[in-house]
């Protein structure tokens, strides 16, 4: 049984979902309605913490879209802020891992749905009238499955100028575009979001990423020189594509 995690007043802890450098995400239930939500618990200690929280909340409020996780409220708790959002199901990364373990590819209908839902959400962010906004961290872990087989982007708090070489895991670096990798600022752009979505598409179609090195330096060389593997041959490719 999972150890209970403190959640804001008015909610009951259900179970942990995941955790990382940003804090933790838990499933919790609103006591008055019995509805379940995701609570992203972020320690609010440093100015950087406060900036990330403000950035994510601002973006969630600004970009209300079927392809972006919806915001319910922001709650305070001790030295933390809790971003309360609609609760999704599996991440796309979990779905792909499950298919890979069974030696099968994701169904083409799922590939289509991911691309339509996520590209539509990015289009809204990239064409905002008050200024272009790049997501900055498009990856399978940040794409969640919801009811009706639809997918939504989450984790809108990534800084557009985040240092891609020092603050991300090799898994996240798989999605970094050449121009962002070579930039002095590492600034995310619309183009780098589209590149990352292309990495997602390759992974869905071929069951593996186009760049495979587990060493960050070698990985960046592969990306910079476009040493792309087209993946394993799909026997039923005429039916699939």
CATH code for the domain of 96: 1.10.510.10
Q: Domain span at residue 106?
A: 92-240
The answer on 103 and 18 residing in a single domain is no
- Tell how far CA 141 is from the center of its chain: 5
Q: Per residue of the chain (241 residues), give pLDDT as tens.
A: 456 789 999 999 999 998 876 779 999 999 999 999 999 998 877 888 888 888 899 999 999 999 999 999 999 988 889 999 999 999 999 999 999 999 999 999 999 999 999 999 999 999 987 776 889 899 999 999 999 999 999 998 875 545 555 445 555 788 888 888 777 667 788 999 999 999 999 999 999 888 887 888 888 888 878 755 555 544 444 344 4
Q: Are residues 55 and 133 in the same domain?
A: no
Tokens 């995941």 belong to 18
Domain assignment present for residue 2? The answer is no
125 domain-assigned: yes
Identify the three-state secondary structure at position 55.
helix
Q: Is 137 among the catalytic positions?
A: yes
Catalytic residue among 137, 155, 163, 193: 137
- C-alpha 7, offset from chain centre: 23
Pick from 52, 2, 50: which is nearest to 27 by CA? 2
Distance CA 40, CA 53 (A): 10
- CA-CA distance, 124 to 84, in Å (whole number)? 22
Please check whether residues 54 and 111 belong to one and the same domain: no
**What's the pLDDT score for residue 233?**
44
Number of domains in the chain: 2
- End-of-domain residue from the set 86, 113, 135: 86
Q: Does 126 map to a domain? A: yes
pTM of the model: 0.86
């Amino acid at each position: 049984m999972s150890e209970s995690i403190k959640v804001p007043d008015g909610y009951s802890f259900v179970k942990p979902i995941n955790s990382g450098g940003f804090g933790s995400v838990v499933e919790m239930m609103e006591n008055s309605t019995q509805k379940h939500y995701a609570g992203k618990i972020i320690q609010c200690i440093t100015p950087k913490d406060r900036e990330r929280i403000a950035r994510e909340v601002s973006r969630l409020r600004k970009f209300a879209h079927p392809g972006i996780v919806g915001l319910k409220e922001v709650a305070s708790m001790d030295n933390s802020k809790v971003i309360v959002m609609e609760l999704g199901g599996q991440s796309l990364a979990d779905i792909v891992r499950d298919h890979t373990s069974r030696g099968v590819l994701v169904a083409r209908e799922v590939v289509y749905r991911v691309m339509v839902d996520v590209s539509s959400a990015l289009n809204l962010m990239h064409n905002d009238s008050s200024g272009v906004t790049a997501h900055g961290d498009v990856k399978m872990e940040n794409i969640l499955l919801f009811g009706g087989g639809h997918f939504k982007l989450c984790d809108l708090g990534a800084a557009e100028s985040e240092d891609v070489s020092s603050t991300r895991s090799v898994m996240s670096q798989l999605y970094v575009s050449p121009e962002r990798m070579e930039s002095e600022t590492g600034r995310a752009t619309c183009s780098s979001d589209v590149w990352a979505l292309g990495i997602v598409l390759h992974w869905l179609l071929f069951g593996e990423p186009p760049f495979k090195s587990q060493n960050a330096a070698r990985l960046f060389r592969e990306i910079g020189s476009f040493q792309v593997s087209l993946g394993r041959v799909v026997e039923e490719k005429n039916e699939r594509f």
